[in-house]
Amino acid sequence: MNIKNYINGEFVNPIKGNYLDNYNPSIGKIYGQIPNSTKEDVVLALEAAEKAFSKWSTTTLDERSKIFSKIADLILEKLDFLAAAESKDNGKPISLAKAVDIPRAASNFQFFANAITQFSSEAHESVGLNAINFTLRQPLGVVGCISPWNLPLYLFTWKIAPAIAAGNCVIAKPSEVTPMTAYLLGEICTEAGLPKGVLNIVHGLGTSTGQAIVAHPKIKAISFTGGTKTGAHIASIAAPMFKKLSLELGGKNPNIIFADCDYDKMLETTVRSSFTNQGQICLCGSRIFVEETIYEKFKKEFIKKVSELKVGNPSEKNTNIGALVSHQHLEKVKSYIDIAEKEGGKILFGGDSVTVKNCENGYYLQPTIIEVQNNKCKLNQEEIFGPVVTMMSFKNDKEALALANESKYGLSATLWTNNLNRTMQFAKQLQTGIVWVNTWMLRDLRTPFGGAKDSGVGREGGFEALRFFTEPKNICIKY
Ligand code: NDP
């Protein structure tokens, strides 16, 4: 299936007529083409967005909210169709796309349909000075949203929904590796009555199309989710223009397991937090630290549970682990398994490619568990972003905390314990944007979402996102 750009409410070919191949990772074959858009396409989208802005930014909140609810309803109506498209484009199990990716895309719109009607700003009376101050929060204008391939529609809508709800017009670029559901969203937005030019979707390579969005001086803010290196590059281009920047970047998240935890719940959740979406979630707990008194028991039982996961065709219902997103990514992940052997890591389970019946050219890898002795090794310090976890033991709280914080990343951490005192000590001292205690990836969309250290700048979610996509202006009235 060939796709087009969505500009000014219309599906259009790229101006220069160049296309890129789109692969189905489950069979390793090209199944369509996508626009390889250039600066000229970004400018066309910008013109449409600028034209739409004055009207959209003055649309009532009630009207915006109604359109958003309609988009959410349409996404849910097309759940099966969108889930199949997501699974084909990305390689993820269709069951996961149905249960998580697509419902969450609908929730992103429904959440901001409600949030925008509750978003308000402050007023400050300057007592004794006969003055009143209030804060106007105005939309920025045209903003850019750039999203990655791991949770395609989920993360794409997580950015564009608050941007549009706040009254901005958007130029968005999904990853060129997984463009399909963003393309399908264009149709849904038109059907829901989103006015022309409010959302414009331009497909293409990060280094050309994405770069053109970041570099255009008239695009006032960039909301980006992706790798840390790309984030740093984007910041270097955007900073001299004083653009607002929200960067959600990589992670190398610790999963800290104490002997006093609810063991069965921990074991089941740790399998999920390690391998959901083939380990391609920025929040996956890729470094597992286990208290030494239960280390051997955990090791044995974790290996057993992981060995029961079925690697297979993503479109089959009982598949737990589908294909990795691309051949290039598969090779990258495998290169870390090679490094493990050189670094003295011990592969406890997995480590090999898998050949799946009728999908022989797909990009499949066994879930892989590697025991390491040294937290400073590459395997524990670099983001692998695949179905590979490491594990090592610790003696006490002090050591566990030091191991968890010994990372340039600071996105999330998971802690398993029933000790309240320990929970509070870790919650305060873990250098991450998110701490899950006795759970993983339980999301409440009102909460601030994002990372510390090299995992990013700024926060998404709830009013944080609406604040990012608006400019606060202080009005002081003397009376
Ligand atoms: P990339 O950084 O390679 O790409 C992310 C997006 O940016 C894609 O749309 C990409 O386009 C685009 N892009 C690439 N180069 C540029 C550029 N120079 N200018 C503008 N845009 C550009 O990340 P991946 O897609 O590989 O995603 C995986 C990464 O995302 C991991 O590091 C993961 O941890 C992180 N991530 C972080 C999350 C968070 O919330 N903190 C959540 C999910 C993922 P294209 O793909 O077409 O090259």
Query: Per residue in 99-133, pLDDT tens?
Result: 999 999 999 999 999 999 999 999 999 999 999 99
Tens-digit pLDDT profile for residues 341-391 = 889 999 999 999 999 999 999 999 999 999 999 999 999 999 999 999 999
- Which atom of ligand 1 is least distant from the CA of 281? 43
Quote helix, strand, coil % in the chain, to nearest 5.
40, 25, 35
CA pair distance 255, 266, nearest whole angstrom: 10
The pLDDT of residue 1: 83
In DSSP terms, which residues pair with 347 in a beta bridge? 370
Ligand 1 mean position, distance from CA 463 (Å): 24
Helix H segments across 2-135?
39-56, 61-77, 79-90, 94-96, 102-118
The pLDDT of residue 341: 83
Q: Determine if the pTM surpasses 0.85.
A: yes
Q: Is any ligand 1 atom within 6 A of the Cβ of residue 412?
A: no
- 97-119 burial: b if 16+ Cβ within 10 Å, else e: bbebbbbbbbbbbbbbbebbeeb
Ranges of the chain whose pLDDT falls below 50: none
CA pair distance 237, 408, nearest whole angstrom: 22
- Which atom of ligand 1 is least distant from the CA of 282? 34
CA pair distance 94, 319, nearest whole angstrom: 8
Q: Is any ligand 1 atom within 6 A of the Cβ of residue 385?
A: yes
CA pair distance 120, 137, nearest whole angstrom: 8
Q: Is any ligand 1 atom within 6 A of the Cβ of residue 205?
A: yes
Q: For a ligand 1 pocket test, name from 151, 237, 282 the mutation site with the most ligand atoms within 8 angstroms of its C-beta.
A: 282
Chain-centre distance for alpha carbon 283 = 9
The token duo for 374 is: 């040294």
The token duo for 15 is: 């101006």
- In the block, tokens 């391939």 appear at 149
The pLDDT of residue 361: 97
Q: Is any ligand 1 atom within 6 A of the Cβ of residue 467?
A: no
Q: Which residues are catalytic?
A: 248, 282
CA pair distance 2, 154, nearest whole angstrom: 22
The set of residues, in sequence order, having a beta carbon less than 8 Å from that of 35 and lying 6+ positions away, is 3, 4, 5, 13, 14, 18, 19, 20, 41, 202, 203, 204
The pLDDT of residue 70: 98
CA pair distance 81, 86, nearest whole angstrom: 9
Q: For a ligand 1 pocket test, name from 101, 108, 149, 155 the mutation site with the most ligand atoms within 8 angstroms of its C-beta.
A: 149
Q: Cβ(173)–Cβ(20) under 8 Å?
A: no
Count of other CB atoms within 10 angstroms of residue 426 = 21
CA-wise closest residue to 171 among 152, 143, 195, 148: 143
